Amino acid sequence: MNQLFNDLFIFEMANNHQGDVNHGLAIIKAMGEIKRKYAINAGVKFQYRQLDTFIHPDYRHDTKAKHISRFLSTELTKEQFHTLVKATREEGLVTICTPFDEESVDLIVEQGIEIIKVASCSADDWPLLKKIVKANKPVIASTGGLDLPKIDNLVSFLSHKATNNFAILHCVGIYPSPNEVLHLNYVERLIKRYPGVTIGYSGHEAPDNYEVVQIAVAKGACIFERHVGLPTDTIKLNAYSMNPAQVDTWIAAAQRARTICGSPDKAITQEEVDSLLSLKRGVFARREIKKGQEITAEDVFFAMPCAKGQLTSGEFGQYRTKWVASRNYKPKEGIFEQSQPDLYKNIRAIIHQAKGMLTEAQINLGNEFEVELSHHYGLEQFPQTGCLIVNLMNREYCKKLIVVLPGQTHPLHKHKRKEETFHLLCGDLTLKLDEKVFQLKPGDMHLIERETWHSFFSEKGAIFEEVSTTHYRNDSYYQDERISVLDPIQRKTVLDTF
């Protein structure tokens, strides 16, 4: 993702400068103060039109033609826009501009503006889009009025042509937009449909509607755009532009939503652990228990409060864990014991984590498959070394799904008879082939030829497809002698349920 897109707030000036450079400078200064107050990534966006050619000569004086009279009355010269662009940079804001014709793209390049913004009305203007991508700048495109096939077309074009990366904004081209037409669930759909593409939201709702940006944050949007202006005694803003006070409240609302949403990884604090422990039931001796005695359900009862370090009812009843008293217990005394290694519990934890990863990646295995755990240093070391293998078919061709847990490594090995190709479906994968290291991202494929030493590692977890020639049971050769001396049965566990 282009760093310029990272949680970017776009202040759309449009024609709210009213054709007055000093008024435009005042808007930019107000936006700069808000950027510094909240320490955000923000930019001011201009609109460029070469009106001599953009407007048909027969309509230049047609007062009934929508927008034309406003464009003409607020027109600025190239030099005046340069003054505004310079001021934007001085305020520490990103420079962004929407061109509505090809000549305006040339002016954007000439002025060194950082991001080109494509308006919704231009998102299927192919002569203009072709000119925009030739500028070799980051592109942000709004998609108001575009159905999914047209957005697919736009994303496909930009993914091949926009070499400096691009972003897509969900947008509704109604000014102002009532809540019932916003459809912010669409943001989630765009994120799923275009992995790796930054998705944002360009809003035209009423300027005092701050709920929308909070929902957009919660849906995963990373770019947020609003029209901004500065009212005066003689200037009144339109029904979808925000004044500086409203922009301030809008940013604050987005920041609160981001705090509430937090990280996609759940962080459990000690405060939460202690709070829940105060509500849990502890395990207490029902009768006298001797040291070395197995503690059964008949020997205990469950009640609150539960002391720190005391066995909880949940822990006591989990799976097949066997509890043996490490000391004598009197009736009604709390039980303080540590769980012993439980092979079944460990395997279940692995299965649940792998199934969760497959489900989250929306990979449906069907009914015909076999699952095996590859544990080179034993099941207790599986979270660090190994992988879970889903065997789908093994004929003259072979197909497997490999699930690599976060932080897990598969050690260096090679095959003499099998040639294979890895296709990363999701997550991150570091693949080492002989002395070369490759960082794979989703969609990447890599061939591993016979007799090639290879290993792989995932920092955050990965699922990849292995397509190969026939798999043979004794065709994996490991560099580590501790693994190579093991029979495959000793380093693999085949599961009959998953």
CA-wise closest residue to 91 among 40, 35, 45: 35
Strand order in the sheet with 445-448: 445-448, 420-427, 462-469, 397-404, 387-394, 370-374, 492-495
Residue 333's contacts (CB-CB under 8 Å, 6 or more residues apart) are 284, 285
Task: State yes or no: pLDDT of 488 exceeds 90.
Answer: no
How high does pLDDT run on average in the chain? 93
Task: State yes or no: pLDDT of 152 exceeds 80.
Answer: yes
Residue 214's contacts (CB-CB under 8 Å, 6 or more residues apart) are 253, 254, 256, 257
Phi, psi (degrees; rounded to nearest 5) at 482? -65, -30
Per-residue confidence (pLDDT) for residue 188, from 0 to 100? 96
Contact (CB, 8 A) for 247 and 207:
no
Task: State yes or no: pLDDT of 84 exceeds 90.
Answer: yes
CA distance 9 to 224: 5
Report pTM.
0.85
Strand duo 397-404 + 387-394: pairing: antiparallel
Phi, psi (degrees; rounded to nearest 5) at 100? -110, 5
**Taking phi first (over 0 means left), then psi (-120 to 50 degrees means alpha), and beta for anything else, what does residue 362 get?**
left
Strand duo 8-12 + 41-48: pairing: parallel
Per-residue confidence (pLDDT) for residue 327, from 0 to 100? 96
CB atoms closer than 10 angstroms to residue 142: 25
Domains of the chain: 3-261 (3.20.20.70), 268-340 (3.90.1210.10), 346-495 (2.60.120.10)
What mean pLDDT comes out for the span 474-490?
A: 88
The 3-state DSSP class for residue 256 equals: helix
CA distance 369 to 400: 9
More confident: 380 or 257: 257
Per-residue confidence (pLDDT) for residue 443, from 0 to 100? 93
Contact (CB, 8 A) for 35 and 91:
yes
pLDDT tier for residue 267 given thresholds of 50, 70 and 90: confident
